[in-house]
Amino acid sequence: MLLDTTFDPKSIIYLFDMIGIVACSVSGTILARSKNFDPMGCILVSMVTAIGGGTVRDVMLNRHPLFWMVDMNYLIVITITSLIFQAFFENSQRISPQTVDKWLKFTDTIGLSAFTLIGLKVALSYGANPLIATLLGIVTIIVGGMIRDMICNEIPLVLRKEIYISAGIAGALVFFGLQHLSLPSWVVEISTMLTVFCVRMLAIRYDWYLAPVHQWFNIMKK
Residue 210 falls within a domain, yes or no?
no
Residue 78 falls within a domain, yes or no?
yes
Q: Where are the alpha helices (DSSP H) in the chain?
A: 2-5, 12-34, 39-61, 67-70, 73-91, 97-125, 130-151, 165-180, 185-206, 213-221
What pLDDT is recorded for position 1?
37
DSSP letter assigned to residue 212: P
- List average pLDDT for each run of 10 residues in the chain, which is 222 residues long: 61 92 95 92 97 96 92 96 89 71 90 96 95 96 94 87 89 97 94 97 88 67 64
Residue 140 falls within a domain, yes or no?
yes
Residue 12's nearest CA partner among 193, 136, 200 is 193
The C-alpha atoms of residue 18 and residue 74 are separated, in whole angstroms, by 8
Domain count, the chain: 1
155-171 burial, b if ≥16 CB within 10 A, otherwise e? eebbeeebbbbbbbbbb
Residue 81 falls within a domain, yes or no?
yes
Residue 136 falls within a domain, yes or no?
yes
Could you give the 3-state DSSP secondary structure of residue 68? helix
What pLDDT is recorded for position 2?
41
Is 211 exposed, middle or buried (CB count within 10 Å of its CB: 0-12, 13-18, 19+)? exposed
Which residue segment(s) compose the domain that 29 sits in? 2-159
Prediction pTM value: 0.89
Residue 166's nearest CA partner among 143, 142, 150 is 142
What pLDDT is recorded for position 222?
61
The C-alpha atoms of residue 173 and residue 218 are separated, in whole angstroms, by 28
Cis bond before residue 39 (omega within 30° of 0): no
Residue 212 falls within a domain, yes or no?
no
Residue 190 falls within a domain, yes or no?
no
Residue 94 falls within a domain, yes or no?
yes
